[in-house]
Each structure stands twice: as C-alpha cells, then as structure tokens.
Amino acid sequence: MSNFLRNSSATTNQNGGTHTATVDTRYVRLRENTDGWLKIQPTSSKEMYICEYTKVTMVKSEGGRTYFKVMDGWSAVGLTASLSDANAREFLTKTPPSATIETVKVKYGPRNEEVSPFKGPLLQQWATLNIRGQAITVTLNSDWSGQYSPIPAGSHRIMAPDASHAGTSTQGYRNTYPGRIKANDVWFPIELAGTTGNSTRYVHIGHLSHGCVTVHQIELWNVVYNFLISHRLPNTNGKYVALLEVTK
C-alpha cells in the first residue's frame, strides 16, 4: 500500500519544529469522445459523477483503488471517493484549469421562424455567442407561450456544471456528428445578475431553448464546451467558470 501526502503541519523534532507537507492535487480530464462526466465511488454513498477539471486531493492507493477527496465544484464536494488505479492514472492529471477572468459575450439578433424537422415551425430568438473572437449561432428562446423568455441583457455569471443532463436527450447530436461532439450531457447553469445560484437557465447544446443560451450551431459546441470547462473564476471554489455579458 502506498500513501499520498496530505496538507498538514507536523512536529519534526523535540524542539517543536514543524514542516508543511505538499498536497498531491489532481484535476479530472476525460477522453475526447465522452459524455463529459466521470463516475466515482464515494466511500459513504452511492456512485456519483464529477465533471472535467474538478479538483481532487489524493489520499491513498489500496486494494487496487485510488482514493481522493473532492475539493471543489457542485457535486460531491468534501466527499472521499475512489477510482480503480487504472482509471485514476488515466483521468486524474496535474493540469489545472485556467484561473483567469474570462467574459463570454452574447448579442441579440433577429427573431424569426425556423422550420424544425422534428418540431415544425419554431419562432427563434437568435443571438451570437462570441468566444475569443469566434462567432457562434445560439437561440435564446423557442417557446412563446409566456412560460419562458429570452435571457435579459446584463452581466451574469456562468456556473460550473451541476449534474448530468442525460435525461434531456441530446445523444442525437453526437450520432449526427460521430466522433466530433462530446460532453452533450454537460450543461452550464447561469446565475442571473442580481440573483444567487442556478436560475434554471443554461448554456447547452441543442436546437430548442426555454430561455437558455442554446448552442444551435451544433458543430461548434465543442468550442464552447472546451473553453468553458477549462476555466474557473478565481476565488470561487471552482463553482463559476466565466462572466456572461448579454446585450441587445
């Protein structure tokens, strides 16, 4: 059995000298063609899932499994969990997310009809999502029954992924673009200006929007995902990834 160092101060001699052990920190990284979630086994609960770039600290390797503590994000924070040693070597790396403050910009466009092959005529509120100069077509609303509305103009925050959204089927997009679309189950919650927490609006892949920032240009979803997942806003314990500036 091999043990990993934990972050602590310990007395090293009778004179009361201390030293600080080095934390062995890792970050989740996944394969290219994946749904975007890593299944882990907490020691005290059922299986759970964590997203890419979740921070963990190593605890020990024992009985063919590697144990670690989940240190940030929204899922399983504070829990000790494990992976097989082989999966730990593959999916836990030393590469951290970027800790710079990044701003994603959304600019309203026209509102006009699109004929969906699945849903028929849809009145879409189009917009352009801009990531480091790359313009990507999104829709901000597809349902005008009064239950939903496009995201308001303002300065919002994009949160780290909360949980798998496999229940809202987007597998078809991966089937349409085999080997080219990943992390379709990863949705990024939006914290609206003046509020706290998940507004139930998200940045996600798809052709329909219920007030979300829905990446309609499917072939560019990976650009959006890769950018957002690889960033964390400083001093937010891994809970926020970027700022969101929406203008009309």
- Is residue 31's pLDDT more than 90? no
Cα–Cα distance measured from residue 19 to residue 3, given in angstroms and rounded to the nearest whole number: 18
> Which pLDDT score is estimated for 117?
74
> Which pLDDT score is estimated for 168?
79
- Is residue 200's pLDDT more than 60? yes
> Which pLDDT score is estimated for 23?
80
Three-state secondary structure call for residue 182:
coil
Q: What is the mean pLDDT of residues 33-49?
A: 92
Contact (CB, 8 A) for 204 and 229: no
If pLDDT is split at 50, 70 and 90, which confidence band does 119 have? confident
Compute the residue count for the chain: 248
Backbone angles phi, psi at 64, to 5 degrees: 80, 10
> Which pLDDT score is estimated for 2?
43
Q: What is the mean pLDDT of residues 16-30?
A: 76
Q: What is the mean pLDDT of residues 220-244?
A: 97
Contact (CB, 8 A) for 54 and 39: no
Cα–Cα distance measured from residue 146 to residue 154, given in angstroms and rounded to the nearest whole number: 21
In single-letter form, the type of residue at position 46 comes to K
Contact (CB, 8 A) for 8 and 155: no
Per the prediction, the chain carries an average pLDDT of 90
The reported pTM is 0.90
Cα–Cα distance measured from residue 216 to residue 247, given in angstroms and rounded to the nearest whole number: 18
Per-residue pLDDT reduced to its tens digit, 149-161: 999 999 999 999 9
The residues, any chain, with a CB within 8 Å of residue 25's CB and separated by 6 or more, are 55, 56, 57, 58, 71, 94, 96
If pLDDT is split at 50, 70 and 90, which confidence band does 18 have? low
In single-letter form, the type of residue at position 49 comes to Y
Of 13 and 87, the one with more pLDDT: 87
If pLDDT is split at 50, 70 and 90, which confidence band does 89 have? very high
Output Rg (C-alpha) for the chain, integer angstroms.
21
Cα–Cα distance measured from residue 185 to residue 38, given in angstroms and rounded to the nearest whole number: 12
CA distances for 200 relative to 90, 107, 134, 151, 163, angstroms: 33, 20, 26, 11, 12
